Structure 1
Amino acid sequence: MLLDYFIFGLITILMPGAQCEETEVFAEAGSQAELPCKCNPSSPFIPSIVWSKANKGTVWRKQKSGLQYWGSSWSSKGTHRVQCPHNQFERGNFNLQINNVMAEDGGIYSCMVENGGKWAVNVVILRIIEVSVSSSVSVWGNDVSISCKVTPWPYEASVHWMLNNSPFVPKTENASNNDTTKSIVREKATARLAGNWTCVVDYKGKEGRASAALTVKGIIHPSEDNTQVYAALASTVTLPCVFSPGLIPSNLVWEKLKPEFLFKPGPSRLPSSFSQSSPSSQRPFDKSATLKEVGFEDEGRYRCSGTIEGQRLTRNMQLVVAKIDILSKKTGSVTLTCQLTDTSKVTDYEWVHVIYDLNGTQSVRSIQKGNTLSISKASEENQGEWTCRFYGKEGILGNVTYHIQTMSHLSGPKSSGGSHNTAGVVGLSFLLLVLLLILAQMYKNHQRRKRIFQYPALETIVHTVSNEREERNRVKK
């Protein structure tokens, strides 16, 4: 490098009236690099221009006659990788454009412009930045390294990394703090490392960038351990365990972890309603499980694990069960509370009264905050669904619903159907009263006859008198 500077310095000395400027240019490998060369035109005529590279000879030159020449390494089968746009010459712009730059293109270039017997020399140092990944597609848990290479390397330059447009901070600092060490990142492949890596190099007020993508395959859903899954009591819930597309794990195992094992949780018996296959997906990389009729005792931690390329991948998750409890049943009122088996991620509660009309259209009548809801009267106006929604820092976590019809017998005015029942009771009571009167009259007649049959002689006399009276009446006639 020092020899190259010496050569270009010698050129400026030997050329009368030569003026020399030095510029740093960074370019990402595979992109187009533009090397600046600007001179104040001292003549209306097109000057002679020579672009060359140290130890490589001429890159491109143009004579005053207009003839152009390309170096052998810059032209192949009539295709030129370098060009100097003529439409900028009148403005004194003689920039050189290099397409699809490579690491070997890095180095020192000179632009010499001769006009009116005077030479202007511009020295440009082109540095090619290239980011490479040990494996662009890495399996979760494997070693991965991302390196940043600059040709030629700028000593005393500062290097830092960006991951997905955010500064990247390694979990473990390197023992050496030099820039060469900083240009390499070595980590275990996790979802945290997936995305676009950008190496940023700062040197003498200039900044260069180059990027490369890293894809990490493994369990993509849930993306992190100890993700909480929320389910309402007696509902059906899916425990997610989705691998990257194309990965089909072997030796897949689902386990429920005992809560007493804090550091090394041991397996426990899975719930009876647990199903290791998810009916919602037929994809071979989706190994989610389902729980039907979730019970309060089903809460806790679950683990899904499978083997990919000899690497055992696991993902832990926590099932949180929600239910609505009736705290009190006073006359004309009821109090509901929204209860969860784990409230560590819950920041707010919201009660929503959902009503459906005859067309099935849903509407919200009222909203209340807090995990406890008191309803003054379980009347017709309070019928419908009362849904408790619970929220975390990133939005809604889940909900659980209670149907008000199940407690309509507690209090409230009678429905319109009650009037028909009342009329029926009144009519039946009147009929029973008439029957009682008839029975009372029949009983009274029966008692009268019973008293007469107690005096048979009197009955004979009465009968004889009655017969004689009838006989007289017959003789008179």
Structure 2
Amino acid sequence: MMLLKGAIFGVITILMTAARCEIAELLVEVGSTAVLPCMCRVSPCHPAAIIWSKDSKGTVWRKERSGLQFWGSRWSQRGNPRVQCLHSQFDKGDYSLQISSVTEKDAGLYTCRMELTKPAAEIQVMLRIIQVYASPPVPMWGEKVSVTCRVTPWPKDSSVRWRLNNSPFWPEEEFVNNGIGSTIEGKASERLAGNLTCVVGHNKKMLQASITLSVRGIIQPPKDNKVVYAAVGSPFLLPCVFSPGLIPTSTSWKKAETGDLLAFNDSRSFSGCDKSLEIKEVTMEDQGKYKCSGSIKGQRLTRTMQLVIAKIVQSKKKGSVMLTCQLTDASEVTEYEWVRMTYDVNGTKSAGPVLKGQTVVLEGNWQEWTCCFHGREGLLGNVTYQVHLTGGLSGQKSSASSRNTGTVIGLSALLIVLLLVLAQMYKNHQRKKRIFQYPALETIVHTISNEREERERSRVKN
């Protein structure tokens, strides 16, 4: 009897050792592709009969030694199977199962059975699905909203951390960890808007899933105290745009410094959700803080913003022109760039060399210069200035120019006088030349001349 029990125990032990069973774990995001590993570690591995099953409830995928393949009835989507094993990897003993577009229902325990010899080898894989979702998906500003991070099935001894727009996020709202997931509950606001990421740590591995939470309300500007920039003398729209489909009532604009309501032309808005304030020509007095307000379903939504005015100041210095880019608030500016704009005969505009700095010193003639000011997130705005340098240099150069002009005028007058004298001399010479051409006339001229001399001498003697 004892020998029989010992033999039975030995056979069970051998069978349990022969039937190798390995367990793996996989955590993927809902909607992605999951690759469940199944590697054969004996040789040869091909051809082999492979059976993939889930929770011992049915076959997912099966391959006979002959190469024929079969799929479970629920593992196809519109006639196309969602699971497959790559034929090119069979010779390497790789029978990993690929599941595309995984859903929460795909979570569970999978078994890969490789029938090579008896007993068959089995590998088990626990597939966990992580997802993040919001309820409601697109909440209204001030409406109650919950954001949930859930893993199916939930792993024990796991940790959860949240990130908002790639920065650590510690919710001030109600935070719940209930053993099946992690949930943030609160009122929809710009604090919760953006890319929310749930990071789950389990067995020294990290996996994350994200959701972009959009809050319906005022979308432009995207947050309070947004700084906008305008150039002196140009038209400008102070932005106040509501989410598509939201048509606010009782819209108003107010300037914070004075508290006065501003004239608002509501008929300018064609879509109904754009309530921006039009400034036809910006002046320095327009700088300051503004507030836009509108009512949606009895709830008053507001957005504040600061308008910064930019202008270019010109000054002359020693034969050159100095341009300075000035802003009423330059706290967000990190860099200034100057671009020369030129026009060809067809009026085509093109950009020339770029200069750096808030102030530049220019020499020569130009058409137009544009000052572009940048911040940490890129271009903030620009302002353009028309420069006319001709006749506008320093007094020393103007004096020299006047002296040169006087010298040229004097020389021109002298040359004209010389030309007139030469012309008169030439005319006298030509007249004498015409007289001496006739001898008789010449004799008469000499006789008259001699008689005149005789009379003169007689008058002297008397």
TM-score range, shorter chain: 0.5 to 0.7
Q: 1:320 aligns with which of 303, 308, 313?
A: 308
Residue 147 of structure 1 and its aligned partner are, at CA, apart by 1.3
Residue 122 of structure 1 and its aligned partner are, at CA, apart by 1.2
Q: How does 1:168-179 map to 2 (within 5 A)?
A: 168-172=168-172
Residue 125 of structure 1 and its aligned partner are, at CA, apart by 1.1
- DSSP-derived class of the 2:120 partner: strand
Amino acid at match of 2:304: N
Partner of 1:251: 250
State percent identity of aligned pairs. 47
- DSSP-derived class of the 2:234 partner: coil
Q: Distance in 2 between matches of 1:130 and 1:358?
A: 62
Cα pair distance change 1:13/1:253, threshold 3 Å: farther
Residues 222 and 241 of structure 1 are in contact (CA less than 8 Å); yes or no, is this contact kept in structure 2?
yes
Partner of 1:470: none
Q: Distance in 2 between matches of 1:255 and 1:401?
A: 31
Amino acid at match of 1:304: C
Residue 353 of structure 1 and its aligned partner are, at CA, apart by 6.3
Alpha-carbon RMSD across the aligned residues, in angstroms, is 4.6
Q: How does 1:129-208 map to 2 (within 5 A)?
A: 129-162=130-163, 166-172=166-172, 180=179, 183-191=182-190, 193-208=192-207
Cα pair distance change 1:37/1:282, threshold 3 Å: same
Partner of 1:115: 116
User: CA offsets per residue over residues 290-326 of structure 1, 9 Å max, x none?
Assistant: 1123332222111112223444322212222344557
Residues 50 and 115 of structure 2 are in contact (CA less than 8 Å); yes or no, is this contact kept in structure 1?
yes
Task: State yes or no: 1:303 paired with 2:291.
Answer: yes
Cα pair distance change 1:15/1:86, threshold 3 Å: farther
Q: Distance in 2 between matches of 1:292 and 1:160?
A: 49
Residues 175 and 185 of structure 2 are in contact (CA less than 8 Å); yes or no, is this contact kept in structure 1?
no
Q: Distance in 1 between matches of 2:86 and 2:350?
A: 67
Residues 21 and 121 of structure 2 are in contact (CA less than 8 Å); yes or no, is this contact kept in structure 1?
yes
- DSSP-derived class of the 2:285 partner: helix
My pick for the range that moved more, 100-109 or 40-49, is 40-49
Residue 30 of structure 1 and its aligned partner are, at CA, apart by 3.8
User: CA offsets per residue over residues 116-144 of structure 1, 9 Å max, x none?
Assistant: 32331212111122222212222334333
Residues 48 and 116 of structure 2 are in contact (CA less than 8 Å); yes or no, is this contact kept in structure 1?
yes
Cα pair distance change 1:419/1:252, threshold 3 Å: same
Residue 155 of structure 1 and its aligned partner are, at CA, apart by 0.9
Partner of 1:345: 332
Residues 41 and 91 of structure 1 are in contact (CA less than 8 Å); yes or no, is this contact kept in structure 2?
no
Q: Distance in 1 between matches of 2:267 and 2:310?
A: 22
Partner of 1:441: none
- DSSP-derived class of the 2:149 partner: strand
Residues 383 and 405 of structure 1 are in contact (CA less than 8 Å); yes or no, is this contact kept in structure 2?
yes
Q: Distance in 1 between matches of 2:212 and 2:389?
A: 57
Amino acid at match of 1:342: D
Amino acid at match of 1:215: S
Residues 171 and 184 of structure 2 are in contact (CA less than 8 Å); yes or no, is this contact kept in structure 1?
no
Structure 1 unpaired stretches of 5+ = 1-10, 260-266, 428-477
Residues 252 and 264 of structure 2 are in contact (CA less than 8 Å); yes or no, is this contact kept in structure 1?
no
- DSSP-derived class of the 1:238 partner: strand
Cα pair distance change 1:390/1:404, threshold 3 Å: farther
Structure 2 unpaired stretches of 5+ = 1-11, 414-462
Partner of 1:468: none
Q: How does 1:375-414 map to 2 (within 5 A)?
A: 381=364, 384-385=367-368, 389-393=372-376, 394-399=378-383, 401=385, 403-404=387-388, 408=392, 411=395, 413=398
Q: How does 1:409-424 map to 2 (within 5 A)?
A: 411=395, 413=398
Q: Distance in 2 between matches of 1:343 and 1:299?
A: 13
Q: Distance in 2 between matches of 1:97 and 1:221?
A: 44
Partner of 1:127: 128
Cα pair distance change 1:125/1:12, threshold 3 Å: farther
Partner of 2:449: none
Residue 19 of structure 1 and its aligned partner are, at CA, apart by 1.1
Partner of 1:437: none
Residues 356 and 363 of structure 1 are in contact (CA less than 8 Å); yes or no, is this contact kept in structure 2?
no
Cα pair distance change 1:321/1:56, threshold 3 Å: same
Task: State yes or no: 1:224 paired with 2:223.
Answer: yes
Residues 356 and 362 of structure 1 are in contact (CA less than 8 Å); yes or no, is this contact kept in structure 2?
yes
Amino acid at match of 2:328: T
Partner of 1:276: 265
Partner of 1:233: 232
Amino acid at match of 2:116: N
Cα pair distance change 1:334/1:64, threshold 3 Å: closer
Q: Distance in 2 between matches of 1:369 and 1:108?
A: 65
Residues 253 and 264 of structure 2 are in contact (CA less than 8 Å); yes or no, is this contact kept in structure 1?
no
Q: Distance in 1 between matches of 2:117 and 2:211?
A: 48
Partner of 2:30: 29
Task: State the number of aligned residues.
Answer: 394
Q: Distance in 2 between matches of 1:43 and 1:338?
A: 78
Q: Distance in 2 between matches of 1:364 and 1:77?
A: 59
Could you state the TM-score of these two structures normalised by the residue count of structure 2? 0.67
Partner of 1:472: none
Amino acid at match of 2:95: F
Cα pair distance change 1:38/1:220, threshold 3 Å: same
Residues 12 and 19 of structure 1 are in contact (CA less than 8 Å); yes or no, is this contact kept in structure 2?
no
Q: Distance in 1 between matches of 2:351 and 2:319?
A: 25
Residues 129 and 151 of structure 1 are in contact (CA less than 8 Å); yes or no, is this contact kept in structure 2?
yes
My pick for the range that moved more, 385-394 or 23-32, is 385-394
Cα pair distance change 1:257/1:109, threshold 3 Å: same
Could you state the TM-score of these two structures normalised by the residue count of structure 1? 0.65
Q: Distance in 1 between matches of 2:370 and 2:82?
A: 68
Q: Distance in 1 between matches of 2:289 and 2:320?
A: 38
Q: Distance in 2 between matches of 1:114 and 1:321?
A: 78
Residues 25 and 206 of structure 1 are in contact (CA less than 8 Å); yes or no, is this contact kept in structure 2?
no
User: CA offsets per residue over residues 220-275 of structure 1, 9 Å max, x none?
Assistant: 2222222223333333222112223333222211111126xxxxxxx2253xxx65
Partner of 1:8: none
